[in-house]
Amino acid sequence: MITMCMGFGCNSCGITGCRIIDSPRERLIAILTNNFVPCNGRFPFLITIATIFIAGTINGIGASIISTIAVIFVIIFGVIMTLIVSKILSKTILKGMPSSFVLELPPYRKPQFLKVLVRSIFDKTIFILGRAIAVSLPAGIVIWLFANIGIQGESLLTIVANFLEPLANIMGLDGYILTAFILGIPANEIVLPIILMCYMQGTSLINMEDTFAIGEILKQNGWTILTAINVMLFTICHFPCATTLLTIKKETGSWKWTAISFLIPTVCGIVFCMLTTLIYNVLVL
């Protein structure tokens, strides 16, 4: 539970925090399911979508309340998914006897604030930031190339989006949204700027702070309440960011478990989006 809560700040830190779990089996389960907890990078995207498409349908003071409830519901959904997937893993590929957890209070000592500060900065902050920079720099180059290199008048971004369009339509999304999630693997914060860049046919990331303007762009490109719901679901249930994946590789020492940690939330996200789209089409259409 402690490591899951750490994931609300950063999934990489949450996975590093799994070191406190003595059982290797339970530590691995915690690592594989930590990504279902939305990190700080996903909250702005969730809040923006909820504000535009859920609060935007209601007038008055109740709009902000409904928007807040929607985001809280999505967070609870992620926590529930963590518990369900953990249970499934413990009964299938990671079977074993549950271990007991004994919390022993350490002897009281005078706090060494300087030592704690230095060790936390060098052991955690700089370590995670170093990995983020190592991933973000080449990823930024790739995004720029996709947006600026074209074949027969179409950018690579559009070509990839058209290729993903059939799968995206089944999920209640579009090709540009899926492309943005894929290119946004360095950091969840850049998914929305990539979506805006795609829709506006830009050649660099677009960062807008005007929620109303963002909503108009999304609506003009076919977004509906169904699209918003599926995007929020897929934001919770999709592959970890690259920094988190590298952390998983270091903590587990295995590319196999890193790949599994990539596939589990992604498959869940695809399935849930398909089910939501199917139910919506049956009930509404």
Q: How confident is the model at residue 284 (pLDDT cuts 50, 70, 90)?
A: confident
Helix 24-33 crosses helix 242-252 at what angle (to 10 degrees)? 170
Percent of the chain beyond pLDDT 90?
A: 34
122 occurs within a structural domain: no
**Phi, psi (deg, nearest 5) at residue 150:** -125, 160
User: What pLDDT digit, counting tens, does each position of 138-154 carry?
Assistant: 767 777 788 788 787 78
Q: Give residue 204's pLDDT.
A: 73
In a domain, 89, yes or no: yes
**Residue 131 pLDDT:** 60
Look at 6 and 260; give whichever has higher pLDDT: 260
Residue 54 included in any domain: yes
| 211: amino acid identity, one letter | T
Asked if residue 70 belongs to a domain, the reply is yes
- Residue 63 CB contacts under 8 Å (≥ 6 apart), including other chains: 55, 56
Evaluate if pTM is beyond 0.95. Answer: no
* CA end-to-end span of the chain: 41
b/e per residue, 4-32, with b = 16+ CB within 10 A? bebbbebbbbbbbbbeebeeebbbbbbbb
Cα 88 from Cα 215, distance rounded (Å)? 38
User: Considering the domain boundaries, does residue 49 fall inside one?
Assistant: yes
Q: What's the alpha-carbon Rg for the chain, to the nearest Å?
A: 20
Which helix (H) or strand (E) covers residue 40, if one does? none
Average pLDDT, rounded, for the chain: 84
Residue 36 within a domain = yes
* In the block, residue with structure tokens 């349908």: 57
Q: Which has more pLDDT, 240 or 132?
A: 240
Question: By residue range, what is the domain housing residue 267?
Answer: 2-96+128-284
Number of domains present in the structure of the chain? 1
Give the Cα separation of 248 and 246 in Å (integer): 5
What is the C-alpha separation between 33 and 272, in angstroms, rounded?
A: 17
Q: What is the average pLDDT across 156-172?
A: 92
Average pLDDT on 120-128 reads: 63
What's the pLDDT band for 136 if we cut at 50, 70, 90? low
- 202 or 234, which is more confident: 234
pLDDT of residue 269: 94
Residue that is written with structure tokens 């604030």 in the block: 113
How many other CB atoms are found less than 10 A from the CB of residue 63? 15
Torsional sign, CA 161, 279, 269, 184: positive
The pLDDT value given to residue 127: 63
pLDDT tens string 17-38: 888 787 888 889 989 998 898 8
Chain-centre distance for alpha carbon 40? 9
DSSP category for residue 98: P
- For residue 20, CA distances in Å to 26, 39, 268 come to 11, 20, 28
Q: What are the tens digits of pLDDT across the range 222-273?
A: 999 999 999 999 999 999 988 889 889 988 989 999 999 999 999 999 999 9
Quick check: is 107 in a domain? Answer: no
Residue 253 β-bridge partners: none
Asked if the structure places residue 120 within a domain, the reply is no
- Please spell the DSSP secondary structure of 236-277, one letter per residue: HSSPPPHHHHHHHHHHH--HHHHHHHHHHHHHHHHHHHHHHH
The string of pLDDT tens digits covering residues 55-111 is 776 666 667 788 888 899 999 999 899 999 999 998 888 887 666 656 666 677 777
